[in-house]
Chains A and B, each alone.
Chain A
Amino acid sequence: MTRQWTKTIRRKAGEWLDLPRDLVLDLPRIIMIGNRQLTIENHRGVDHFGSGLLRLKLDEGKLELSGEDLVIRSILKNEVLIEGVIREIRYLPQ
């Protein structure tokens, strides 16, 4: 209940002050270099990891990557670097 409340306030403040959304709302920032490399900031952990399919938990929903030979080059608390041949990126609700 309170979480929902703070989130709404943050969103409003962000809109008002014109701040970047990823900072305000903990939205993931995704940097993709071709289809070879992908950096995702603000993730909430790995949900599933396979060489052809990788699912990351986000604040809201999940991010699903499909491709070939996916490798986690490095993983930190809220940043993950993925390499391989990426075919698809999808948002999954919950």
Chain B
Amino acid sequence: MQSQVLAWFRGYVEVEIRGRNIETLLNEAAETGCPVWGVRRVGEGTVRLYTDLRSFFSWRPLLRRTECKIHVTSRRGLPFWLARMESRLFFMAGMVLFVFGVYLLSQLVWQVEVSGNERIADEEVAAAAEELGIYRFQWKFRLDEPQRLANELMRRMPGTAWIGVEIRGTKVHIRVVEQTVPEPRPLMSPRHLVASADAVVTEILVEQGQVLVRRNMRVKKGDILVSGQIGDEASGRTVVAKGSVKGLVWYAYTIRSPLAHQHKVYTGAEKTRRYLVLGNRALMVWGYGELPFQTYETSILRKQMKWRKAELPFGWIREQLKEVDVTERTVSESEAKNIGLAQARADVLAKAGALAAVRDEKILHEKIEGGKVYMKVLFEVEQEITRELPIVQGE
């Protein structure tokens, strides 16, 4: 028995054989080497079997000898299928055309995708690509090699560090890596740098401009430290004065520091009250009863019902009452002084800027009155003393 697949390719027929000497016919067919398979009896004197298309014609003498009649009941396999297709020429043509059409369409560029660009617009990349022939409905085989396309694109597009062109199926993917360009300097109008406070100059660092002060020089608030006017009157020009000038500035402080400090301590006892809010009114629903403590702090948590963004006139409030114990601690005179000074120092530094440092401090006057220490202190702070003053043209 041969393979079923092979039989299909060569074509085979199902035949019905009628006659009395069917066994003899089978024997002779086997003898001559005709492939015969699937022989089954379907009735008295009738047998159905399959045979090869090629050997079908060699049956004829056998049939005549054994007085059997043959009748083909079905034709199977590729040769018959092809014959049938021949009669459906247009159908076949359509099928071939369809396959060809799909192939052709797959040879087109359907999409050009640009990615990785942030500053350069997609359209700009696409326009440059179009000049090289990368556009929608372009034939893929008309495109150059991706590597060469990428190089050419890179040459045409300034501001890119790298461009990659990848053709994947019907999609052309252009990946762009932009050059990182340093940010342009902000434009500034010509200006002077002037003193922001009365000070003694300690340090001068100038990038641009005419320095008008020296170290250890005393300046007044508003004095020009670095001038934006360079050169003489006739051939001068105005520039943006840039730099940093540091100076010693004095701050006088009056400090008041109490000798007794109050401390609040939570004892841990607490009571919760809950209210239902209707419009402006609150109705207590939980937490009735006397408070078991006198001194307490309240914290309120309010929740209002909302529908989208509009507030509804319903809500609830949770009120927490925590008992506090107030203890008083008396501090010594020197301790009170230190606390006061520390506070004042922090305050000064906050005013004078980040780079400031306290160089010296002098207590000018101190007294104790009514349980408090009063002090007058002079801080000497080294800080940046420049302030920008624009030069008004035409003055």
Q: Is the CB of A45 within 8 A of B23?
A: yes
Query: Closest residue to A77 on the B side, CB-wise?
Result: B30
Chain A residues 64-86 with CB under 8 Å of chain B are: 69-77, 80-81
Q: Which residues of A contact B30 (CB under 8 A)?
A: 45, 75-77, 80
Chain B residues 44-93 with CB under 8 Å of chain A are: 47, 49
The one of B22, B31, B35, B37 in contact with A49, judged by C-beta atoms closer than 8 angstroms, is: B22
Give 1 or 0 for each of B32-45: 1 = CB within 8 Å of chain A CB. Answer: 01011111110000
Give 1 or 0 for each of A43-54: 1 = CB within 8 Å of chain B CB. Answer: 001111111000
Q: Is the CB of A73 within 8 A of B47?
A: no
Least distance between A56 CB and chain B CB atoms (Å): 10
Bound Cα distance A50, B27 (Å): 15
Least distance between B96 CB and chain A CB atoms (Å): 38
Least distance between B287 CB and chain A CB atoms (Å): 88
Q: Is the CB of A74 within 8 A of B1?
A: yes
Q: Is the CB of A75 within 8 A of B39?
A: yes
Q: Is the CB of B41 within 8 A of A46?
A: no
Whether A49 touches B1, Cβ cut-off 8 Å, given contacts A73-B38, A75-B39, is: no
B368 at the interface (CB under 8 A from A): no
Q: Is the CB of B23 within 8 A of A77?
A: no
Interface of B is mostly: mixed
Q: Which residues of A contact B33 (CB under 8 A)?
A: 76-77
Q: Which residues of A contact B127 (CB under 8 A)?
A: none
B26 at the interface (CB under 8 A from A): yes
Q: Is the CB of A49 within 8 A of B27?
A: no
Whether A72 touches B31, Cβ cut-off 8 Å, given contacts A49-B47, A50-B41, is: no
Least distance between A4 CB and chain B CB atoms (Å): 25
Bound Cα distance A56, B290 (Å): 116
Whether A73 touches B26, Cβ cut-off 8 Å, given contacts A49-B41, A49-B47, A50-B41, is: no
Most A CB atoms within 10 A — which of B1, B36, B38, B39? B39
Bound Cα distance A44, B1 (Å): 18
Q: Which residues of B contact A70 (CB under 8 A)?
A: 40-41
Q: Which residues of A contact B27 (CB under 8 A)?
A: 45-46
Q: Which residues of A contact B22 (CB under 8 A)?
A: 49
Bound Cα distance A2, B37 (Å): 37
The one of A45, A69, A81 in contact with B1, judged by C-beta atoms closer than 8 angstroms, is: A81
Least distance between A51 CB and chain B CB atoms (Å): 4
Q: Is the CB of B31 within 8 A of A71?
A: no
Q: Is the CB of B40 within 8 A of A77?
A: no
Bound Cα distance A72, B49 (Å): 9
Bound Cα distance A49, B31 (Å): 17
Least distance between A38 CB and chain B CB atoms (Å): 14
Query: Closest residue to B39 on the A side, CB-wise?
Result: A72
Q: Is the CB of A49 within 8 A of B38?
A: no
Q: Which residues of B contact A75 (CB under 8 A)?
A: 26, 29-30, 36-37, 39
Q: Is the CB of A77 within 8 A of B26?
A: no
Q: Is the CB of A51 within 8 A of B40?
A: yes
Least distance between B15 CB and chain A CB atoms (Å): 14
Bound Cα distance A69, B30 (Å): 21
Q: Is the CB of B26 within 8 A of A71?
A: no
Q: Is the CB of B26 within 8 A of A49?
A: yes
Q: Is the CB of B38 within 8 A of A71?
A: yes
Query: Closest residue to B43 on the A side, CB-wise?
Result: A51
Q: Which residues of B contact A74 (CB under 8 A)?
A: 1, 35-37
Q: Which residues of B contact A69 (CB under 8 A)?
A: 40
Bound Cα distance A49, B48 (Å): 12
Give 1 or 0 for each of B218-240: 1 = CB within 8 Å of chain A CB. Answer: 00000000000000000000000
Q: Which residues of B contact A49 (CB under 8 A)?
A: 22-23, 26, 39, 41, 47
Closest 6 CB pairs of A and B: A74-B1, A72-B39, A45-B27, A51-B41, A71-B40, A46-B23
> What are 13 A-B contacts with C-beta separation under 8 Å?
A47-B23, A49-B26, A51-B41, A69-B40, A71-B39, A72-B36, A72-B39, A72-B40, A74-B1, A74-B35, A76-B33, A77-B30, A77-B31
Task: Name B's A-contacting residues (CB within 8 A).
Answer: 1, 22-23, 26-27, 29-31, 33, 35-41, 47, 49
Beyond A72-B36, A80-B30, 5 extra complex contacts between A and B, CB < 8 Å? A49-B39, A72-B37, A72-B38, A75-B39, A76-B30
